[in-house]
Chains A and B, each alone.
Chain A
Amino acid sequence: MSHSINLTVNGTRRDVTLEDARVTLLDLLRERLALPGTKKGCDRGQCGACTVLVDGRRINACLALAVTLDGAEVTTIEGLAKGDHLHPVQAAFVDHDGFQCGYCTPGQIMSAVGLIAEGQAGIDPERIREGMSGNLCRCAAYHGITEAVLDASRRMAEEEVRVSA
């Protein structure tokens, strides 16, 4: 049974026909939509490398069946920067060395964007570590990751105050 779905991926509408309902969002992005920035680590929800935003919420793309997401809006790491202008979370990861090999980094960054939007962690390092615990880093760059998320949260909060003032 084939299924037709449409998704808005990084702002662009994509109509996709799935010959098979088994395709995960992760495999769809990487294999069919030429967006390999989202990484596959465990493929079982245990590492966070595949984190993307669906309708603004961070999820593990490896456990989401694409067929269930008809009509959804998906943001991947490729959709975060505006041209050469990095998203504040991306810039903070560069500034604070929030990575070593870089494999977990797209997932870390998407998770951090989701976490900041959720508004539960604020600028408390312990809450940030807890909120980021779904993203493992085999290189253990955790110190830099926490500093980066903390810095980005601060900058984004200041930006919000500036804009609303």
Chain B
Amino acid sequence: MKPFDYLRPASVEEAIAVWTPDAAYLGGGTNLVDLMKTGALHPGKLIDLNRLLGLDLIEMLADGSTRIGAMVRNADLAHDAGFAATFPMIAEALLSGASGQLRNVATVGGNLMQRSRCAYFQDPYSACNRRTPGVGCDAKEGDNRSHAILGFSDACIATNPSDFCVSLAALDAVVEVHGPRGRRDIPYADLHRLPGQTPEKETALEAGDLVLAIRLPSDAAAFRLNARYLKVRERTSFAFALVSAAAALRLEGGKIAAARLALGAVAAKPWRVPAAEAMLVGQSPGPALFARAAAMASAGAAPSGDNLYKIELARRTAARALSMAAAGTPTRMPALPASPFGEPAHV
């Protein structure tokens, strides 16, 4: 790790004022400190957000929306009884990510802004356009089994690793940021960028921008009875997704009145296709319908390397997540959140 200055501002204004181009904001540090250890990142200054007041609240606003502060810990959000009852799919996504220890520390803001898990991004001795623009992409000829099947480019084939983000994208969250040029809202769909020729521009945040909070609009709560997150991994727990899907339905008189579907780990951002959601509306839920929606949701998928298997996996995961959502949100969080393995085995 390279030496750095450590600052602990007391207010958001102060945090932004001490920001310089070589600085990084520190949330829980579970991603940033790791990447500083590998040498992939070497900020000259860490601005610790942990003592900022008021960023750790979960609030119901007067307009029916829910606001979650950037410093709320992943575990605290998932286990907040009111939040989990209203947004069970988000809680399930959170609890399917990382481990109990990591979730106790990881923040909402840090989870949103976490960096690529591409092995070549993490290794400072590999060529990576996302880390160092223009030097090439070692993943293209390397280990790319878990890389993107949608929205990738010649310059970069990495995926966004977050589970939380997939559920937020499905529910049209809004990201509140504050930066040197003031405060603004970013619609979730615009937060993460596809790589194109500039994979180093990962998000819509601008230099010095700080995530203050995310907001879930009032209509997001309407999906609570039929909302699931499904995550396919190489082991049952404590592994990143190969493919995941967030599926939420609003049923009225046996028909689908509204639908949301986002795919995870398939692209550099959570993948939503409005036409796949629209075709579900007015229909009766069922496997054939869900298979067609899933095909539409992953239309255009292509291998970026040794990952042809992910195309069929994405279709099946999306279709199954829709079926699980149609069957109803479980009354209690499953023992294995987001897992395709349902019934508990016994000791």
Interface of A with B (CB < 8 Å)? 1, 3, 20-22, 24, 43-45, 48, 51, 57-60, 63-65, 67-68, 111, 114-115, 118, 120, 124-127, 129-135, 143, 146-147, 150
Contact assessment for A65 and B101 in the assembled complex, using a CB-CB cutoff below 8 Å: no
Known: A63-B29, A124-B344, A133-B238. A44 touches B37 (CB 8 A): yes
Chain B residues whose CB sits within 8 angstroms of the CB of A111 once the complex forms: 100-101
Chain A residues whose CB sits within 8 angstroms of the CB of B34 once the complex forms: 44-45, 63
Nearest residue, chain B, Cβ from A150: B347
5 A/B residue pairs, CB under 8 Å, sorted by A:
A20-B3, A64-B105, A65-B46, A118-B100, A143-B347
Chain B residues whose CB sits within 8 angstroms of the CB of A115 once the complex forms: 100
**Distance between Cα atoms of A150 and B35 in the complex (Å):** 36
Contact assessment for A60 and B30 in the assembled complex, using a CB-CB cutoff below 8 Å: yes
Known: A67-B6, A124-B335. A59 touches B347 (CB 8 A): no
Contact assessment for A125 and B102 in the assembled complex, using a CB-CB cutoff below 8 Å: no
Interface of B with A (CB < 8 Å)? 1, 3-6, 8, 26, 29-30, 33-34, 37-38, 46, 48, 50, 75, 79, 98-102, 104-105, 236-238, 335-337, 344-347
Contact assessment for B6 and A58 in the assembled complex, using a CB-CB cutoff below 8 Å: no
**Distance between Cα atoms of A52 and B337 in the complex (Å):** 24
**Distance between Cα atoms of A3 and B48 in the complex (Å):** 14
Contact assessment for A22 and B102 in the assembled complex, using a CB-CB cutoff below 8 Å: no
Q: When the two chains form the complex, which single residue of A60, A68, A147 contacts B101, counting CB atoms closer than 8 Å?
A: A60
Give 7 closest A-B pairs by Cβ, nearest first: A134-B99, A126-B344, A133-B237, A21-B6, A126-B335, A133-B238, A125-B347
A2 vs chain B, min Cβ distance (A):
10
Nearest residue, chain B, Cβ from A70: B8
Chain A residues whose CB sits within 8 angstroms of the CB of B33 once the complex forms: 24, 63-65
Chain A residues whose CB sits within 8 angstroms of the CB of B48 once the complex forms: 68
Contact assessment for A45 and B26 in the assembled complex, using a CB-CB cutoff below 8 Å: no
**Distance between Cα atoms of A57 and B1 in the complex (Å):** 26
**Distance between Cα atoms of A51 and B4 in the complex (Å):** 25
**Distance between Cα atoms of A143 and B46 in the complex (Å):** 42
Nearest residue, chain A, Cβ from B26: A68
A66 vs chain B, min Cβ distance (A):
10
Chain A residues whose CB sits within 8 angstroms of the CB of B3 once the complex forms: 20-22
**Distance between Cα atoms of A43 and B36 in the complex (Å):** 12
Chain A residues whose CB sits within 8 angstroms of the CB of B335 once the complex forms: 124, 126-127, 130
**Distance between Cα atoms of A15 and B6 in the complex (Å):** 18
Nearest residue, chain A, Cβ from B122: A44
* Most B C-beta atoms less than 10 A away, residue of A48, A63, A127: A63
Known: A21-B6, A60-B30, A65-B33. A147 touches B347 (CB 8 A): yes
* Most B C-beta atoms less than 10 A away, residue of A24, A65, A114, A115: A65
B130 vs chain A, min Cβ distance (A):
19
Contact assessment for B105 and A114 in the assembled complex, using a CB-CB cutoff below 8 Å: no
Q: When the two chains form the complex, which single residue of A3, A43, A114 contacts B100, counting CB atoms closer than 8 Å?
A: A114
Known: A1-B5, A67-B6, A118-B100. A59 touches B105 (CB 8 A): yes
Nearest residue, chain A, Cβ from B333: A120
User: Knowing that A59-B105, A68-B8, A134-B98 are A-B contacts, what are 15 other residue pairs whose CB atoms are under 8 Å apart, sorted by A's residue number?
Assistant: A21-B6, A21-B46, A43-B37, A44-B38, A45-B30, A45-B101, A48-B99, A65-B26, A114-B101, A124-B344, A125-B344, A130-B236, A133-B100, A133-B236, A134-B102
**Distance between Cα atoms of A130 and B30 in the complex (Å):** 20
Contact assessment for B6 and A57 in the assembled complex, using a CB-CB cutoff below 8 Å: no
Chain B residues whose CB sits within 8 angstroms of the CB of A67 once the complex forms: 6
Nearest residue, chain B, Cβ from A55: B104
Chain B residues whose CB sits within 8 angstroms of the CB of A126 once the complex forms: 335-336, 344-346
Contact assessment for B4 and A57 in the assembled complex, using a CB-CB cutoff below 8 Å: no
Contact assessment for A51 and B101 in the assembled complex, using a CB-CB cutoff below 8 Å: yes
B324 vs chain A, min Cβ distance (A):
18
